[in-house]
Structures are given as structure tokens and as C-alpha cells.
Structure 1
Amino acid sequence: MDPITLGILGVACLIVLVVLGVPVAFASAFTGIAGMMIIRGETVGIGLSGIIPYANSASYALSVLPLFVAIGFLAMHAGITTAAYDAARKWVGRAPGGLATATIFASAGFAAVSGASTASTAVFTRLALPEMEARGYDKTLAAGVVAVGGTLAALIPPSAILVIYGIIVEQSVAQLLLAGLLPGLLSMGVYVAVIWIVVKLNPNLAPVEPSTSFAEKLAALPKVSGVFAVVGVILGGIYFGWMTPTESAGVATAIILVMALFKRLSLRDMGNGLLDTIRTTAMIFMVIWGVMIFVRFLAFTGLPAHVTDLVIGLDVPRFVILLGIIVMYLLMGMILDGLGMMMLTLPVVFPAIVGLGYDPIWFGILLVKLIEIGVVTPPVGLNCYVVNGIRPDIPLESVFKGVTPFLIGEIFIIAVIILFPDFILLLPRMMN
């Protein structure tokens, strides 16, 4: 069989397996092993399948992943997230939709000590959603705010999905983490603006909060010192070249651990945090192993290079091709989870993007932003399912309805990323 045809059949088989509900890790590993056995023989195919997982795991760059995951879970179990929400509520509670705005700010704070979108959504569904309901907020708006606020964890450093992108396409993890900061802050600002506009148009959705004294506001800041310390260590260490991403993550983890101990974190909560870290890390690495096996199979078929040549040879402006890729990701985001979508497409799409002359760091930010949109769009908006799973009394359609105004804001953010690539690449280019 022609190698290109075999590669196309492999991609089709992988898509069918994923659509049928087979986990991406197993679907990609099975397809990759079977494909390599066909194209290189049983002995070589099986041998390579055993070597690839270790070869791709024994990487210094990958050691940053469990540390980033640990930071988020330790912060959650130590109550640092609650302190961040309380501080945000005191500072912006009086603004239109103040509690909703506080939820966005607190979600950004949690993103700075986490990196997992669904974890952030789960935390604030339990923390912020009951608070907004108790203050008379519309449930649809509150649920939408919590779901969309969780997406900030995908861009604001530390971001696990940016690290995975960097490993797959062999790009600087440090530059990717820095590149995510400004668009992450832009997303936060746009979400706050959407809340302000929605509440101004319908004030009944969000009652005005009682005022808080300046002294109370100042008193709330020391409680979130850990968040500022983690952000400073990770971004400052990477930006000035003092530490690698792994070293900065190690120091940040130590800071969170010390804070947790000072807060008298129980052995049970610490154990739960470590177990959550182990489970999540194992899941991520299994996906990486499976996809790397599949990527090696595709490399043997020559399909990625063939697709790149076809795309570059198209007699259309490169922006039209980019627009087609964006539409493809938006449609895929409606039926696939973000990590699976990225793993399935990057082996073929990334060479074409580089061949068209687009910056790989910039494209990583654009891709992660598209994945963010995917986790809040029907029918498989994972963050919306998390909200509904924790609060089944809020119908899933109500959660999606609450997210809808924010999707208009997402269009603006995507436009900024496309039209102003220098804005995305500003911090990476200024690295020491």
C-alpha cells in the first residue's frame, strides 16, 4: 500500500475511534502501533512502540508538567483560591456585576497557580456560584461566568496545554509561557467588559453589592500574596533568564507548599492534593505517549510533508488558508476535547503553518485560544459539563446560554491575535 494512503487511513481510523468514545491515548497508540507494524514490519513496529514512550518521557522539559499540576491542586486544597475570590470581591464588588467580575479576576488568579481549565471551573462552581446565587444573581449569568472564567487557565502561565504544545512541536516552553500572559490578560479584560455590558443592559441580572471600606480591601491583599509570589517567580525567573521553566515551577511549588503548611493544611488534604496531581499527570503522559507513537507512524508515511506541499502550493492568500484552519478548529471544538483536538491535528497542521511562514509561538497562542472557545461551546463544551455535573439543578442549556455573550468577545480576541501578532510575541522577543 502507498505510504501516503496508509497515513490517510491511519488518520481516518484515529478519528473514528475518538468519535466512538475511545480515549485519545489508546486510540492514537493503537493506530500508531498498527501502522508502524504495517509499514516497517512487526518486529520494528513493536520495538519502536516500546522505545518511543520512554524516549519522549525522559525529557527535562516535561518535568515541568507535574510541578504545574501540583501547584494548582495544593493551592486549591490549601484554601488559597478562596482567599483570592474574597479579595477580588472586596475590590471590585461594587462595580456592575461585581461578584461576576470578582469571579473572573479570581479565576485569573487561580490560573496563575494552576494551568487546568476544568479544575478552575470545578473550583469556582463550588465557591463562586453559590455566592452569586445567594446575592440574587441570575443563575444563567453566574453559570456562564464560572464556565468561561475557567478558560483563563489555558493561557495565563503556568499553562499545562502550552507546555504540551511546546513539547510536541519542539518549541521553547519558556517563550510560549511568556507569550500567553498578554492575551490571557486581554481575555480577562474582555470578559469583564462583557459582564459590564450585559448587566448594564439588564440590571436585574446582578444586584449591586454593598460597599467595602478601603481598610478591608487592603487587609485582603496579604491573603493572596502566594498568588503574586508564584506569578513573580515563574514569569520573572523565565523572563530574566534566572531560571528555566522547570526550575521556576519547582520554586513556585515550594512556595505554595510552605503557604499550605502555614495554613495548617491537614495530612488528608495534602494527600488528596498529591493524589490528584498523580492522577492528572498520569493521564497527560499517557496521552503524550500515545500521540508520539502516532506521530512517528505519520512521519514514516510522509503524510505531513505531503500535506505541507499541497497547502503551500495552493494559489490562494495564506490568510485564507489560516482562516480555513481556524474554522476547522472551531468546528472540531464542538465535538472533541481540547487536548485530543490538539494531539490529532498538530502532526499535520503544524508543518503547513510553518511552511506558510507563520510564527510557531504565535500559532501556539492562537491554537490554545481556539481550544479555550471549544471548551465552552456546544455540544461538547467540557467546562459547561463540569458546571452542570456539579450543579445538576442548572440545566446544561442554561449554562451554554450564559456563555453565549462571551463568545462575541472571543471573536474580538481572535481578531486581535491575528491582526497584531507583535502583541503576542512582545514578551518572548524581550526575553533575556
Structure 2
Amino acid sequence: MMELSNDTIGIIGVIALLVLVFAGVRVYIAASLVGLLGTVAIIGWDAGAGIIGTVPHSKSIQYTFSVLPLFIIIGYLAFYAGITQALFDAARKWLGWLPGGLAIASVFANAGFAAVSGASTATAAVFARIAIPEMLKLGYDKRLAAGVVAVAGTLAAMIPPSALMVVYAIIVEASVGQLLVAGFLPGVMSAVGYATIIYVWCRINPNLGKAVGGYTWNERFRSLPGTTPVLAVVVIIFSAMYFGWATPTEAAALGAFVMFLLALLKGMSMRSLYDALMETAKLTVMIFALIWSVLIFVRFLGFAGLPERFAEFIVGLDMPPVLVMIMILIGYLILGCFMDAIGMLLLTLPVVYPTVIALGYDPIVFGVIVVKMCEVCLVTPPIGLNCFVVASVRRDIPLQTVFRGAMPFVIADFVLIAIFLAFPDVILWLPRQMLNN
């Protein structure tokens, strides 16, 4: 019987994983199964099963992992305490006078909630309940109302705290703190870009979303105290990481404690607290299961030596690095048509990351750009999870309407990605200041 080389086993494993995923097998099952069988095929059952069996425990006890449930619970506490409604009300009173003012208010309220939440789909679900009814009540076009909520929800993937950033940092062993800080400016630029699209769109066609006036300066200033819980947690987390007063996990723990106290002061019931804890546990378990399974698959790829071979092949091509990067990003866009963001990152980074580093790109820059590309995939068909979430919450708005409403904002995302590729210092400026403090 012909003995297969490690390279061949690695290629077979990658193909098998893709076939299983596209066939509908859940990512965590497919990755762990292929990883186990592939490792056993290379180094034998006893050694392979022994090594793979230790991966979930050895990786779970890493200090870095504890930041994930802490970031997640901050967002759920804010939602169940009703703090998100206060954010939207304040944004509406301050920005409603602009063309498409309620849609612009939704963007910045989403950005505020993103600063205490790490999950894009959760953010989209929250504002589909809060913002869309208000916009439709005032005659906003369904396409704009649904599209802006779906797209603005993706800001949670970029503005810290971000679960996707943490997952990226864990897989490639980069600095969680630097990555989270690096996502702040690109996240703000994204929010401004979305707001600009809305403003121009509604100036051209005022029937899409009319301005909302009638708010006095007194009403505007009285709306600000309701945003205090979010602002307090944002300042605590960002300042602690930026100035090096605390690790990301310590900053997240302090932020979660402060949000818990503020939620109690706002009258959060025990039932709401229970729901927040349960939602946090469910999302945390899902993310951890994905990470464990893909780390098993990564261990298999390491034994096969496939990432190194792929990196050597790409670097050996006579192509400019930026062209290779564009091709990689196009690959993510295509893959995003069939997979969710976390699964896509976990499956591709073990192979793609060594190649990107060999091309001379900074790990922080690539992390922000690839997470930004994952944001795009959250609102592009046929998967577009955020669009599905909005359509499931608002059953009166067809899914295709949500996708159509999101398309103009995708153009803004592509422009921003091009800016980040051309001017990586936009991403690196804050992390460099952080290191100098």
C-alpha cells in the first residue's frame, strides 16, 4: 500500500474539511474530526489521540480566553437593563434634524452599544427592535431602515471590545490589547462613513428618510445622563488598556462589574439578570467550542507542515505583496458567502497568517483588515448573518430588502479597506501611542 506524504495528508484534510462544511456539517464537528483523523494518520493513534485530547483543556486555561465571556456579558447587561434604548433616544434628539437623521442616529447609537458589546449579531438584533419601528413610524423607507441596522451592527466587530479581534489574537498569538486599541479609529471611521452615505443618499432622495425636528436644547441635554453607563464602561476599558493600567481581561472584569452595578441602579430585575447570564453562557460556549475544534485542526496542519509550504509557495510567486493581499481578501469575501465570521477566521488563519507575515505585513494591520472584511461578509448574500437577524426580528421586511439596503454601505467598507491597505499607519497610530505611554 502506498504511503502518503505529510503534505498530501494535509491537502486531503483541508479538502475534507471544506467538503464537510459546505455539506452542512457544523464547523466545530468537522474541524475536530478532520484534525483528529489527520493527526492520527501522521503520527499514529497513541501519540495523536493523546496530543489532541489535551488541546481543549490546555488552551482553555489560558488567561487570554477569560476576556471573551467578560466582554460578552457587558453587552447583555446593557441590553437587559434598557441602556440601549437610552443611547438611541439621545442620538435621535441630537442628530434627528439631519437628512436621514434617525438612520444616522441608529449608526452612532450602534457604535455606542458596540463599545460595550462584542457580538455583531446581538447588536443588530437589539436595534432591529429599537430603531426600525421608530424609523418606519416616521415614514422611512424599509430598505434604508433595515439596511442601516444590519450594517451598523457590524461595528461591534471592530470597535473594542470585539469578540472577533480576541479570536484573531488567540489564534495568531498576537497582543489582545494592541488589537482592541487598533480597532478604535477604524471603527469610528466606519461609523462616520456609514453616516455620510445616509446623509448623501437622503439629500438626493429626501423621501427615503426625512429630518426630525422639534427637540429643544434642554431635551437634548437631558437625554445625555442616560448614556452615562455606556460612556463610563467605555472610558474604563479603553483607558485601562491604552495606558497599561490593566490587562484586557482585568479591564473587561472591571467594566463588567461597573455595568452590573449600573444595571442594578437602573432597576434591572432578577429575571433580566438571569437572561443576561444565560445568553452570555450560550454564546461563550459556542465560541469556545469553535476555538477548541479549530485549534485541533491547527495542530494537525502543524504536523503536516502545510502552512509553511503554502507561505513558501506564495512568497515565491513574482507578484507584488499588495496584489497577493487583495487576492486573499477576495478569497475571504467568497468564503463569507458560505460561512460565519468566526468559523471563517478560525479555518483560514492557520494557513493564511504565515503567508501574510512572510509578505511583510504587520500582524495588527492584517488583523484589523481581515476583521473589517468579516464585517462585510456579515451583510452580503447569501449568508449575511446580520441581514438574516434583522429579517427574523422584523418579519414584515423581506430578506432581499435588507440585503438591498445594506449594499451602499458595503461600498463604503471597500473604500475603507483600500485606505487601510494604502495607509496602515491609520491602524497603527493608537497602538504605537499605547506602547509609548
TM over 0.5: yes
Residue from 147, 166, 171 that aligns with 1:168: 171
Summarize deviations over 1:171-225 as a string: whole Å, max 9, x none: 0000000000000000000000000011011101112212211111111111111
Instruction: Using the TM superposition, give the Cα deviation of residue 319 of structure 1 relative to its aligned residue in structure 2, in angstroms.
Output: 1.2
Task: Give secondary structure in 1 for the equivalent of 2:161.
Answer: coil
Distance (whole Å) between structure 1 residues aligned to residue 408 and residue 296 of structure 2: 40
Summarize deviations over 1:134-178 as a string: whole Å, max 9, x none: 111111110001100100000000001100100100000000000
Kindly provide the amino acid, as one letter, of the partner of residue 225 in structure 2. P
Residue from 68, 72, 78 that aligns with 1:69: 72
Task: Specify the alignment match of 2:252 in structure 1.
Answer: 249
Task: Specify the alignment match of 1:11 in structure 2.
Answer: 14
Conserved 8 A contact 2:321-2:359: yes
Task: Specify the alignment match of 2:206 in structure 1.
Answer: 203
Task: Give secondary structure in 2 for the equivalent of 1:251.
Answer: helix
Task: Specify the alignment match of 2:46 in structure 1.
Answer: 43
Instruction: Using the TM superposition, give the Cα deviation of residue 26 of structure 1 relative to its aligned residue in structure 2, in angstroms.
Output: 1.1
Task: Specify the alignment match of 2:238 in structure 1.
Answer: 235
Instruction: Using the TM superposition, give the Cα deviation of residue 314 of structure 1 relative to its aligned residue in structure 2, in angstroms.
Output: 0.8
Q: Give the paired residue count.
A: 432
Q: C-alpha root-mean-square deviation of aligned residues, in Å? A: 0.7
Instruction: Using the TM superposition, give the Cα deviation of residue 67 of structure 1 relative to its aligned residue in structure 2, in angstroms.
Output: 0.1
Residue from 333, 337, 342 that aligns with 1:334: 337
Residue from 306, 309, 314 that aligns with 1:311: 314
Summarize deviations over 1:241-291 as a string: whole Å, max 9, x none: 101000100110011100110011111010000000000000010001000
Kindly provide the amino acid, as one letter, of the partner of residue 205 in structure 2. N
Distance (whole Å) between structure 2 residues aligned to residue 130 and residue 207 of structure 1: 15
Conserved 8 A contact 1:111-1:157: yes
Summarize deviations over 1:49-92 as a string: whole Å, max 9, x none: 21011111101111100000100111100001111011101110
Conserved 8 A contact 2:64-2:249: yes
Task: Give secondary structure in 1 for the equivalent of 2:418.
Answer: helix
Conserved 8 A contact 1:93-1:211: no
Task: Give secondary structure in 1 for the equivalent of 2:20.
Answer: helix
Kindly provide the amino acid, as one letter, of the partner of residue 275 in structure 1. M
Distance (whole Å) between structure 1 residues aligned to residue 285 and residue 161 of structure 2: 18
Instruction: Using the TM superposition, give the Cα deviation of residue 340 of structure 1 relative to its aligned residue in structure 2, in angstroms.
Output: 1.0
Residue from 103, 106, 122 that aligns with 1:100: 103
Summarize deviations over 1:303-327 as a string: whole Å, max 9, x none: 0000011111111111111111111
| Pairing 1:271–2:254 present | no
Distance (whole Å) between structure 1 residues aligned to residue 25 and residue 262 of structure 2: 40
Conserved 8 A contact 2:102-2:211: no
Conserved 8 A contact 2:31-2:294: yes
1:215-226 to 2 correspondences below 5 Å: 215-226=218-229
TM-score, normalisation: structure 2: 0.98
Instruction: Using the TM superposition, give the Cα deviation of residue 425 of structure 1 relative to its aligned residue in structure 2, in angstroms.
Output: 0.4
Instruction: Using the TM superposition, give the Cα deviation of residue 111 of structure 1 relative to its aligned residue in structure 2, in angstroms.
Output: 0.2
Summarize deviations over 1:371-411 as a string: whole Å, max 9, x none: 00000001111100001111122111111110111111112
Distance (whole Å) between structure 1 residues aligned to residue 53 and residue 281 of structure 2: 22
Task: Specify the alignment match of 1:146 in structure 2.
Answer: 149
Residue from 102, 114, 126 that aligns with 1:123: 126
Conserved 8 A contact 1:125-1:146: yes
| Pairing 1:390–2:403 present | no
Distance (whole Å) between structure 2 residues aligned to residue 396 and residue 75 of structure 1: 28
Task: Specify the alignment match of 1:2 in structure 2.
Answer: 5
Distance (whole Å) between structure 1 residues aligned to residue 333 and residue 16 of structure 2: 21
Kindly provide the amino acid, as one letter, of the partner of residue 364 in structure 2. I
| Pairing 1:321–2:311 present | no
Distance (whole Å) between structure 1 residues aligned to residue 166 and residue 89 of structure 2: 30
Summarize deviations over 1:2-49 as a string: whole Å, max 9, x none: 101111111111111111111111110011011111111111121112
Task: Give secondary structure in 2 for the equivalent of 1:211.
Answer: coil
Task: Specify the alignment match of 2:32 in structure 1.
Answer: 29
> More deviation in 111-120 or 225-234?
225-234
Distance (whole Å) between structure 1 residues aligned to residue 414 and residue 244 of structure 2: 34
TM-score, normalisation: structure 1: 0.99
Kindly provide the amino acid, as one letter, of the partner of residue 313 in structure 1. G
| Pairing 1:190–2:198 present | no
Conserved 8 A contact 1:333-1:341: yes
Residue from 404, 408, 426 that aligns with 2:407: 404
Task: Give secondary structure in 1 for the equivalent of 2:25.
Answer: coil
Instruction: Using the TM superposition, give the Cα deviation of residue 335 of structure 1 relative to its aligned residue in structure 2, in angstroms.
Output: 1.6
Instruction: Using the TM superposition, give the Cα deviation of residue 342 of structure 1 relative to its aligned residue in structure 2, in angstroms.
Output: 0.6
1:258-297 to 2 correspondences below 5 Å: 258-297=261-300
Conserved 8 A contact 2:202-2:210: no
Kindly provide the amino acid, as one letter, of the partner of residue 252 in structure 1. G
Distance (whole Å) between structure 2 residues aligned to residue 161 and residue 203 of structure 1: 36
Distance (whole Å) between structure 2 residues aligned to residue 362 and residue 351 of structure 1: 14
Task: Give secondary structure in 2 for the equivalent of 1:430.
Answer: helix
Residue from 111, 116, 126 that aligns with 1:113: 116
Task: Specify the alignment match of 1:302 in structure 2.
Answer: 305
| Pairing 1:343–2:346 present | yes
Q: How much identity, in percent, do the aligned residues show?
A: 51
Unaligned runs of 5+ in 2: none
